Chains A and B, each alone.
Chain A
Amino acid sequence: DQQVKQNSPSLSVQEGRISILNCDYTNSMFDYFLWYKKYPAEGPTFLISISSIKDKNEDGRFTVFLNKSAKHLSLHIVPSQPGDSAVYFCAASEEGSQGNLIFGKGTKLSVKP
């Protein structure tokens, strides 16, 4: 039973345009959400996070939106650059847990020049 779902395995975007990566979750106890970026043969790199008391968090070109009623979050990258091409993982942790993260299966983003 997947608690964190990334339904799009891949996404292709033109350089300079917006990339929107989506993530859905089923566990209403999740209260902390993160996005990671991963290149092949490397560990995931933390990008941005959001707690459940917010609905938006912005860091440079990256913005995460959280819709608690829909149990949905998204990552917007504007403008997209070829170096953004990687696999993006959505993750969540549950209130009261030790902080261990539950990950989605990832979305491979390709930004074309």
Chain B
Amino acid sequence: SQTIHQWPATLVQPVGSPLSLECTVEGTSNPNLYWYRQAAGRGLQLLFYSVGIGQISSEVPQNLSASRPQDRQFILSSKKLLLSDSGFYLCAWQSGPNSPLHFGNGTRLTVT
């Protein structure tokens, strides 16, 4: 069966520090991969998605970037964190269009 791993579960970082969040998927090949963010009191906002290795699409301009160095690995990064980057970051995989997204357990990021 397919599983998705996301780490770390919680992270506290100072403003201006770099960020790297990692997500890996097991049990499937060539999944669509997603990064979403849930800010306090808000819904889930799509940040990035990828349909293949090295293919990244960004939905909103921001201080973050994403990379997909391997088929089942998706990384969310920042060179310098802002206070507004605080939130709950969720990675998800999908087998293809018109199929559900399956989410990891998320990373709670607090930028101080």
> Is B97 part of the contact surface with A, judged by Cβ < 8 Å?
yes
- With beta carbons under 8 angstroms apart, the residue of B32, B36, B103, B108 that contacts A98 is B32
Q: Which residues of B contact A69 (CB under 8 A)?
A: none
Which of A31, A43, A46 has the most B CB atoms < 10 Å from its CB?
Answer: A43
Query: Which B residues from 28 to 50 make CB contacts under 8 A with A?
Result: 32, 34, 36, 42-46, 49
Give 1 or 0 for each of A64-104: 1 = CB within 8 Å of chain B CB: 00000000000000000000000001010100011111111
Output the nearest chain B residue to A43 by Cβ-Cβ distance: B103
A40-68 vs B: 1/0 string, CB under 8 Å?
01111110010100000000000000000
B64 at the interface (CB under 8 A from A): no
Contact A41 B102 (CB under 8 A): no
Chain B interface mostly helix, strand, loop or mixed?
strand
Give the interface centre of A31, A101, A102 by most chain B CB atoms within 10 Å: A101
Q: When the two chains form the complex, which single residue of B45, B104, B108 contacts A41, counting CB atoms closer than 8 Å? A: B108
Residue B101 is within 8 A (CB to CB) of chain A in the complex: yes
Query: Is the Cβ of A42 less than 8 Å from the Cβ of B42?
Result: no
Chain B residues with CB under 8 Å of A43's CB are 6, 90, 92, 103-106
A4 proximity list for chain B (CB < 8 A): 43
A-B residue pairs in contact (CB < 8 Å), sample of 22: A6-B43, A31-B98, A32-B97, A32-B98, A34-B100, A41-B108, A42-B105, A42-B106, A43-B103, A43-B106, A44-B103, A46-B100, A46-B101, A91-B101, A93-B97, A98-B97, A99-B94, A99-B98, A100-B32, A100-B46, A101-B44, A101-B101
| Supplied contacts A43-B6, A91-B44, A103-B44, 9 more A-B pairs, CB within 8 Å | A4-B43, A41-B108, A43-B105, A46-B101, A51-B98, A97-B97, A103-B43, A105-B42, A106-B43
A residues with CB within 8 A of B: 4, 6, 31-32, 34, 36, 41-46, 49, 51, 89, 91, 93, 97-106
